[in-house]
């Protein structure tokens, strides 16, 4: 059984040309080879396998918006509900995090605090201390972020594990073996800087100091370590 990467979008063209696409970034972060994973491009209409046929599931970010209720996205949401009910380990990242929240009855929409971009501080909440994925991530850590939408209201019985200054749901445990991360553990420093440069026009229009954002980008090893722990939980 292989770990399934549910790819819901693709990296910006300028970034993809230099650094590859999301599935490659996640494989590196998870410490898994292409033989140990399977990637399904749901945004291109690819069919998902039976949830119990895979060892674990990672759902990637996307340039799409969950609130657009695209057909492929709603189909994936229904499939994710089945995967969670089947107790298959699931990790949603950015769009994947929001889609998982939507699938399980939460509310997703534009972040009232605006765009979150660059290397940000994430603060662990008390519930993280005994969480299977976040145990050991005490205090605060740096993480890479780029998003406009967010989880505005977690599903009932979900547990919020971490927050940032602009986002109250940076990490959520949706079920005993299902988690969502608003931050990007798969991003390295080059990818984060490339995304900031690619979005510089929009950022400047929103009064961001783009050179300062670029200067503040740094490595995020603690955030990245979440992927290796998820790979072990899915083994």
List per-residue pLDDT tens for the chain, 235 residues long: 899 999 999 999 989 999 999 999 999 999 999 999 999 999 999 999 999 999 999 999 999 999 999 999 999 999 999 999 999 999 999 999 999 999 999 999 999 999 999 999 999 999 999 999 998 787 999 999 999 999 999 999 999 999 999 999 999 999 999 999 999 999 999 999 999 999 999 999 999 999 999 999 999 999 999 999 999 999 8
Residue 60 is predicted with a pLDDT of 98
Residue 235 is predicted with a pLDDT of 84
Alpha carbons within 13 A on the beta-carbon side of 212? 6
Count Cβ atoms below 10 Å from residue 136 Cβ, excluding itself.
Answer: 12
Which among 97, 102, 147, 184 is annotated as catalytic? 184
Annotated active-site residue 124? The verdict is no
Which among 39, 102, 186, 191 is annotated as catalytic? 186
Bridge partners, residue 180, by sequence:
92, 172
Those residues with Cβ within 8 angstroms of residue 176's Cβ, 6 or more apart along the chain or in another chain: 87
Are 3 and 58 in contact by the 8 Å Cβ rule? The answer is: yes
Q: Return the domain boundaries, the chain.
A: 3-233
Annotated active-site residue 186? The verdict is yes
Q: Has domain 3-233 been given CATH number 1.10.1370.40?
A: no
Residue 135 is predicted with a pLDDT of 86
Residue 137 is predicted with a pLDDT of 84
Which among 39, 94, 124, 169 is annotated as catalytic? 94
């Amino acid at each position: 059984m292989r770990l399934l990467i549910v790819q819901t979008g693709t990296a910006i063209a300028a970034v993809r040309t230099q650094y590859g696409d999301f599935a490659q970034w996640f494989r590196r972060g998870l410490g898994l080879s292409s033989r140990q994973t399977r990637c399904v491009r749901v945004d291109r209409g690819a069919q998902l396998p039976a949830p119990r046929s895979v060892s674990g599931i990672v759902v990637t970010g996307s340039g799409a918006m969950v609130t657009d209720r695209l057909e492929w996205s709603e189909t994936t949401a229904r499939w994710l509900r089945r995967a969670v009910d089947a107790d298959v380990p699931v990790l949603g990242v950015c769009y994947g995090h929001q889609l998982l929240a939507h699938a399980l009855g939460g509310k997703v929409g534009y972040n009232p605090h605006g765009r979150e971009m660059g290397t940000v501080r994430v603060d662990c909440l008390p519930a993280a201390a005994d969480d299977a994925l976040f145990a050991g991530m005490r205090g605060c850590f740096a993480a890479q972020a780029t998003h406009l939408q967010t989880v505005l209201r977690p599903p009932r019985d979900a547990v919020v594990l971490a927050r940032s200054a602009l986002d109250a749901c940076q990490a959520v445990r949706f079920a005993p073996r299902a988690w969502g991360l608003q931050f990007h553990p798969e991003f390295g420093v080059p990818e984060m800087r490339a995304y900031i440069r690619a979005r510089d026009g929009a950022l400047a229009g929103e009064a961001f100091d783009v050179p300062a954002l670029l200067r503040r980008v740094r490595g995020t090893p603690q955030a990245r370590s979440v992927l290796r722990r998820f790979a072990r939980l899915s083994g």
